[in-house]
A and B are shown apart, each in its own frame.
Chain A
Amino acid sequence: MTIFNFFKPSRSAPVARDRLQILLQHERVSAGASDLIAKLREEILGVIARHVDIPADKVQVKMQRAEAVSTLEVEIELPNPVRQRRKEDTEAAA
């Protein structure tokens, strides 16, 4: 540290602003994505439950992020034997 540093304090605020902008851009996207996944999961479950008896925890939705594309992985585990809802139930649920 030279004597000149004493008179010219470091300007750290622009660094703080830039770091925050980059971080929050990323965090806002991932918070939005977890909402999206929750919504997708709920609706997928709704569609399947109209036709098959399925416990709520048997539908898994995952999102993999990559540079160019992101992929959505949906895993649905159907209990054996598959119990299809009767036609009238299906209509009532729909």
Chain B
Amino acid sequence: MSQVLVVTSGKGGVGKTTSTAAIGAALALSGQRVAVVDFDVGLRNLDLVMGAERRVVYDLINVVQGEAKLQQALIRDKRLDTLYVLPASQTRDKDALTEEGVARVMEELRSHFDWVVCDSPAGIERGAMLAMRHADVAIVVTNPEVSSVRDSDRIIGMLDSKTLKAERGEYMEKHLLLTRYDAARAERGQMLKVEDVLEILSIPLLGIIPESEAVLNASNVGCPVTLVDTDSAPARAYLDAARRLEGENIPMVVPADRRGFMSKLFGRRAA
């Protein structure tokens, strides 16, 4: 059965696109057919993070408006042949996305893929609404920081009222993905703890992604972190999160990057 997953947050810069790429790739690693869809019209970036930026010919808007077929716009990943990217348009604006057009494309995507992962734009406007509209499951990406938690709370309210599932009176499944977490700082009382964020937002936890250099390294080379540096702490955290999405029961841990002796000695970064 096909599942539509929205990756959303309200606030920008918390890791929606990184998480979409990492989880999409992690789901595809187990042989499932996955499409990652960029809804950030005008500011597309999923293609870049996935390393497919030079292969974009048609985009989501072209398909929504009937100017291209879905198959023409989907870009197959070079590393995993069950992973596809549907890029957003860089030149058009979000008004080009029509409610009916998006509904048609989502229906078609459902018929071809096991997972359709929608990367939502930041904000609570039309683009974000359309990205979550058809979702069966939502991942709320949150940083352990006050403004991100507040915006996530707002987005949770929208997921519970503005999605098709909510309008049908069904329960909207939501999961918290806590990103850029620093367990040591949380322990010192300088960062909200996992438990604090969970208590405030009261949705189930999908994973804790530790702050790590591996994330930037991955986007630098245009590869999901779960494919390029599979042993890194965030990759392991994302791989676990993807397995939890598939219903597996995996104990929650905060993976740590394995550090060499020298970096342990001198590697304390200024924060």
Contacts and interface: CB of A to CB of B under 8 A. Distances in A.
A26 to B, nearest CB: 11
Contact of A20 (B149, B186, B189): B149
Contacts of B154: 27, 31
A17 interface: yes
B161 A16 contact: no
B190 A27 contact: no
Given A9-B188, A16-B146, A24 B157 contact: no
A71 interface: no
B180 to A, nearest CB: 14
A17 B150 contact: no
A28 B189 contact: no
Contact of A11 (B146, B161, B188): B188
A25 B192 CA distance: 18
Contact of A13 (B153, B157, B190): B190
Contacts of B188: 9, 11
A90 interface: no
Interface string A1-24: 000000001111110110111011
B34 to A, nearest CB: 34
Given A13-B186, A28-B157, A23 B150 contact: yes
Give the bracket for the number of chain A residues in contact with chain B. Answer: 10 to 19
Interface in A64-78: none
A19 B146 contact: yes
Nearest to B185: A13
Interface string B130-148: 0000000000000001100
A88 interface: no
A9 B185 CA distance: 10
Contacts of B146: 16, 19-20
A24 B200 contact: yes
B193 interface: yes
Interface string A25-45: 001100100010000000000
B196 interface: yes
B196 A12 contact: no
Contact of B189 (A13, A19, A27, A35): A13
A13 B200 CA distance: 13
B150 A16 contact: no
Given A19-B146, A20-B146, A27 B153 contact: yes
15 contacts: A10-B190, A11-B188, A11-B189, A11-B190, A13-B186, A13-B189, A13-B193, A16-B192, A17-B196, A19-B146, A20-B149, A24-B150, A27-B154, A28-B153, A31-B157
Given A13-B189, A28-B153, 7 more contacts: A14-B189, A16-B196, A19-B146, A20-B149, A27-B150, A28-B157, A31-B157
The 4 closest A-B pairs by CB, nearest first: A11-B189, A17-B196, A13-B189, A16-B146
